Structure 1
Amino acid sequence: MNSPADKPAALRVLIADDEAPARGRLRDLLGDIAPACANVVVGMAANGIEALRLLDAETADVVLADIRMPSMDGVELARHLARRSPPLPVIFVTAYDQYAVEAFELAAVDYLLKPVRAERLATALGKLRTRQLSSDLRLAALAPNERRHFSVSERGRILLLPVADVIYLKAELKYVTARTAERDYLLDESLVQLEQEFPQRLLRVHRNCLVAREAVQGVERVGEPDGEGRWEVLLKGLAGPGERLPVSRRQWPAVRQALGL
């Protein structure tokens, strides 16, 4: 006979669904299966942004996330959770038919088709002990749209920085600095990966710098008239006057083409 010490700890579950009845049903189902699959609900959120904020204060072992939610959907939420250390597993909850669900299965620890059955929920939670969270590549295959937010760790909190607010990104040491009109943020991400994820939004102007295309006001050649000179990108949207970014000789042909010069 197993002693109480042999029993696995209760799974800490966070529920994210924009419909209150759906959240309540999942909470009730988790209570129903608790004798066989020990769990505790640590929070309920109406979208991915609320879920991330709740996770600032609560630890969880798994997130049950609806696919379609306002502000931040389940797939973008999963991308943020995949970047945590350690990554936080996600089980998608969907209202789609079986054909769509087959595609979702590629990108999650498991999926639950609404209306969720207690037995199916218990099976999905059981998989957590043997399966890992899918890679970003699989999440991208499920929903190829770009993220709308960056996750920023700051003073023990997770801040959500809208991608649209970023004017440029600059690699410095092992971090990337994201510059907005108001301030700088540090991202624990790769400049190369960001360039690949946002090819239409970001333009490389230097080996250590990406600029938001919409923030480019123009370019200007600087240096001595008789010298070699160099090009700089003029920026809009910044409070400080005259801030600009140097363009490397290697990147100048691509920058000129991208800006239609």
Structure 2
Amino acid sequence: MDTDNERLRLLIVDDEPLARMRLRSLLADCAAPSVEVVGEAGSASEALHLLARQPADAVLLDIHMPGIDGLELARRLRSSAPGQSLQASPVVVFVTAHAEHALQAFEIEAVDYLTKPVRRARLQEALGRIAQRLGRARVGLAAVSKPAVDEPVLVVSDRGRVLRIPVGDVVYLRAEMKYVTLRTREHQYVLDDALADLEQRLGARVVRIHRNAVVAKAAVRALERRVLHGDEQEEGGGEAWAVRLAPHDEWLAVSRRQLAGVREALVGEGL
């Protein structure tokens, strides 16, 4: 039997009563972990007042609402701490009809991002992630040893999916037509993000080698002149400067314009 400590206490925040009703109905059909809806709010200000009186483990939160929107409310919840106006800082799952805010949501550490109409199986998955996040928090507080530091991640949009890619897995990013190909150690993704934006977010970990490509400095194993073929070659073909990238031994062309900057960056990496 579930104890009160095991049950997830949820607050539903949505300015549409029918949307709140649907979430309640879906939650009633979800399997373990068991949940208890401790309240409903039609606005961010109402949610803050409720949380000041009634603690919750998680907030199922709409984004577009009158007054303070869901993103701003999530930022306030994230910055709150026990002992302040809120009794605890609940985790957040966004439930919205607008998919374009997914990257912002994960940047403020939302547990999940559900798009309407929500399916029961997808909501069930989000509940599992809430329980996992809360379980990790409890273990971390009880642990005697120093907690592990989370590896930095790159939050990206892969044709509608939002992914968290460890930055240490990034090998290169290359713009092709309207999309960017992200090559990691084990996978390849097609991203909706702009190459310049991704380069800025990765910062000093990468170096631009071409107008359409940036590579992880740590992945570079050689800078050489070689004859490139097919997708490797720069406009005009023939022999050109290129970098060899681990772990797949792929070669990418280095443009004449970027060559000096690439050499300087790699000297700093000991190559």
TM-score bracket, shorter-length normalisation: 0.3 to 0.5
Length-normalised TM-score, structure 1:
0.48
Length-normalised TM-score, structure 2:
0.46
